[in-house]
């Protein structure tokens, strides 16, 4: 459970680090990079322990990465709509759903 919570929080930070500056397109690139690095530091402070905890609990690395990717898409969808004010179109929803469906193949014991 801690793994998922920490990965969710880390994805919030990383989404802001990677895409938050897009609301401020006139900001100098050097400033944008430095601010993004500062935000990403906190992402790593959450992401690294999340993966360590998950690994110590016996979660395979492929599953840890899949959890991170599904959370990343979920956080990004909310961020894109709420912060950047970009509409979520049907084709983006279908694409994200197909990626999430791929997670079923990673987690299902065959």
State the angle between helix axes of 61-82 and 2-19 in degrees (0 to 180), rounded to the nearest 10.
50
DSSP structural state of residue 83:
T
- Is a pLDDT exceeding 80 seen at residue 110? no
Residue numbers of the domain that contains 56: 2-107
66-90 pLDDT per residue, tens:
999 999 999 999 999 999 999 999 9
59-70 pLDDT, tens digit each: 999 999 999 999
* Average pLDDT over all residues of the chain: 94
pLDDT digits (tens, 9 = 90+) for 22-44: 999 999 999 999 999 999 999 99
Domain total in the chain: 1
Predicted model pTM: 0.88
Percentages helix, strand, coil for the chain (3-state, rounded to 5) are 80, 0, 20
94 vs 75: CA distance, rounded Å: 16
């Amino acid at each position: 459970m801690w793994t998922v919570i920490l990965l969710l929080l880390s994805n919030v930070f990383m989404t802001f680090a990677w895409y938050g500056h897009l609301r401020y397109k006139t900001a100098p690139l050097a400033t944008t990079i430095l601010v993004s690095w500062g935000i990403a530091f906190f992402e790593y402070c959450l992401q690294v322990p999340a993966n360590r905890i998950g690994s110590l609990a016996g979660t395979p690395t492929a599953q840890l990465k899949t959890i991170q990717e599904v959370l990343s898409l979920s956080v990004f969808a909310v961020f894109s709509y709420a912060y950047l004010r970009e509409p979520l179109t049907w084709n983006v929803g279908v694409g994200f759903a197909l990626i999430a469906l791929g997670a079923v193949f990673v987690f299902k014991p065959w």
